[in-house]
Structure 1
Amino acid sequence: MSGHAPGLWVTFEGGDGSGKTTQAALLEEWLGGLGRTVRRTREPGGTEVGVLVRDIVLHHRGEISPRAEALLYAADRAQHIDTLVRPALARGEVVIQDRYLDSSVAYQGAGRVLDATEVRDLSLWATGGVLPDVTVLLDLDPDTARRRLDAADKPFDRLEAERADFHERVRAAYLDLAAAEPGRFVVVDAGRPSAEIAAAIRDRIAALL
């Protein structure tokens, strides 16, 4: 399956504004109620090294070449898996993670128009080939996502600020990834009420507990 130790590893994917943070928090609360130890984390930025990488890739004012961007994300991912995710799974914890390698395939592969297979292979090399038990894809059309981001009234990062066609490519890439790996992905319409989304996610996770 995913080639990792006994814990459970769940990643959340989707465009900015799709509700990943909200749903990750609801899942953490539910699992905690079942007595499971949960580790919430994110990419980039789940480790001290990751915080530095996150600042570069999301907030650097100058130009970053697409390949450099992909390599920075892969470097963050290597550190994150080795120092945080693998140890937590080895302790039998549930890791709930905001973004993993599917983000790189969608954002750097499709969004930046790099070779998606090369981007994926780079991340698999960086992490020793581990994949999550479940990847929740919160699918939302970019127009709705943009309205949510506008309503949040905070500055856009480098990726959020990209044009509509960029976000359309990202969404299409995510749906292609989910279609290619139906055993790992659960795709949820992120336009549905939050409680319905949470229930659909719990159904999938419950089968693995």
Structure 2
Amino acid sequence: MKHLLIAFCGLDGSGKTTQLHFLKHWMFSNQQAVLTTRQPSDDYRNNDRVRNYLDNGVVSNMKAIALLAAADRQNHISEIILPGLEKSHVLTDRYLYSSFAFFKARGLNIDFVRSINPDIPEPDLTVFLDLDPKVTLERVSNRDGSLKFEERNSKIFEDVRETFLKVLPKNSLILDAQLSENDIHKVITNKVKELLNNDL
């Protein structure tokens, strides 16, 4: 049986991480081996240059930040995703499409971001939890108690959402993130059942 690569994407606060864990437990309960992971890794998230931008909006060269993200992704795919797929299904919290969306909102051309991310495997399924940017910021503020640099400007998140909807694969499952968690989970599991049955 071919193992599935499933990417969960969406704005912060959309519920993508929650839905990833719901699917993980559903797969476990159906005797499916599954690995969960996320992009970018902590190496990228904790880089001083990255943190200075995310927390304070200070950056001398945005292309350099994009290159750090691309290198992190290549390592993640070669060290985690591809080996993982040999033994199990892989669920990833964020994927390449987040880089397209966020770096475009940060002023970079999508073609440049695409050029520094060659040979990225396309997921068997991409789940996008679609949420109004204003609701996103309300949820993040309630969850974290404060907002990072980009989260203080709803226009950035409007741009991110717009780009996501343009760059997601055509077979993406785009769901209203304001539906109940159970309703969203049912739609996702029905789609995953279909993919699993097609591969049996």
Alignment correspondent of 2:98: 103
TM-score by length of 1: 0.85
Deviations 1:105-164 (A, max 9, x none): 00002x1121112212321x2xx23111111010000111111111113444454x3411
SS class of match (1:130):
coil
For residue 170 of structure 2, the aligned residue among 178, 182, 190 is: 182
Alignment correspondent of 1:115: 109
How many residues are aligned here?
191
For residue 79 of structure 2, the aligned residue among 70, 78, 83 is: 83
Q: Does 1:44 align with 2:36?
A: no
Unmatched 5+ residue regions in structure 1?
46-50
Alignment correspondent of 2:133: 142
Give the conservation status (yes or no) of the 8 Å contact 1:12–1:24.
yes
Alignment correspondent of 2:9: 13
Deviations 1:40-82 (A, max 9, x none): 100111xxxxx22111265335723221121111011010000
| Percent of paired sites with the same residue | 34
Alignment correspondent of 1:193: 180
SS class of match (1:75):
helix
Give the conservation status (yes or no) of the 8 Å contact 2:50–2:65.
no
Give the conservation status (yes or no) of the 8 Å contact 1:10–1:134.
yes
Q: Which amino acid aligns with 1:55?
A: N
Q: Does 1:34 align with 2:26?
A: no
TM-score by length of 2: 0.89
Structure 1 113/62 Cα, relative in aligned 2: closer, same or farther at 3 Å?
closer
Give the conservation status (yes or no) of the 8 Å contact 2:57–2:149.
no
Alignment correspondent of 1:208: 195
Matches within 5 A, 1:54-69: 54-56=45-47, 59-60=51-52, 63-64=58-59, 65-69=61-65
Give the conservation status (yes or no) of the 8 Å contact 2:70–2:116.
yes
Q: Aligned partners of 1:154, 1:24: CA distance in 2, in Å?
A: 24
Alpha-carbon RMSD: 1.8
